[in-house]
Amino acid sequence: MENFYLSPEEASIVYSPHFIQLKNSAMEKVMVMMGRLQEELAEYDRGSDFPFEPEWLQQGPKISKGEQYKQLPWVMLDYPRYFSKKAVFAFRTMFWWGHYFSCTLHLAGTVKETFREALVDGYTKLATAGFQVYQQEDPWEHDFENGNYKFIGDVSFEDWKEMVDRYSFIKLAKPFALEHWGGIITEIVAAYATLLSLLNNKGRA
């Protein structure tokens, strides 16, 4: 028989609207933060010489939110946001309740092949900057638990080259502690700049 009785801790939340009101207020502030972050990323793009293909920016930014990424609320910003059947060029920032912020560069298909040499040659820069590489076959997991990611600095250069070629996509990511709240925008823009600089140096003939 299912137990539908509340524990004292559950009851303390159910009997009061205050927790949900605070949670909703916090989520609205995250949405505002993501909007500001998108503006800062776009401002960086306007001042850089990164060779974006026109279609990589045509889809525009997207901010989305939900309640159930592994049973917890989340907010995502996708900018730049280019997803097609043949290629992906996306930079995703995620807030995951109770865990962290994260930013992820997702390259796939023809885009990944364009930047393959830059990715291989960027091994030291990525390792030094503390980036991690995604290890699973399903590209749509976003958290750093369960062995999803590994620090690039913890693999050899030879293993790194194999990781770059392992799948039709690659995801490079960094988590940021929630305690860094006030500096998150600056830190994520800096990570974005590091990634674009790495790709720009060697990404084109």
pLDDT in tens, 53-77: 999 998 999 999 999 999 999 999 9
Q: How far is CA 193 from the centre of its chain?
A: 14
Q: Structure pTM?
A: 0.92
Low-confidence stretches of the chain (pLDDT beneath 50): 202-205
Residue 102 is part of which domain span?
8-202
CATH code (residue 147): 3.30.930
Give strand pairing partners of 174.
Answer: 103
The answer to the question of residue 3 being in a domain is no
Q: How is residue 181 annotated by DSSP?
A: G
The answer to the question of residue 60 being in a domain is yes
**Coil/strand/helix, residue 168:** coil
Q: Which of 156, 84, 89 has its CA nearest to residue 123? A: 156
Report how many domains make up the chain: 1
pLDDT at 38: 98
Give strand pairing partners of 104.
Answer: 92, 173
The answer to the question of residue 1 being in a domain is no
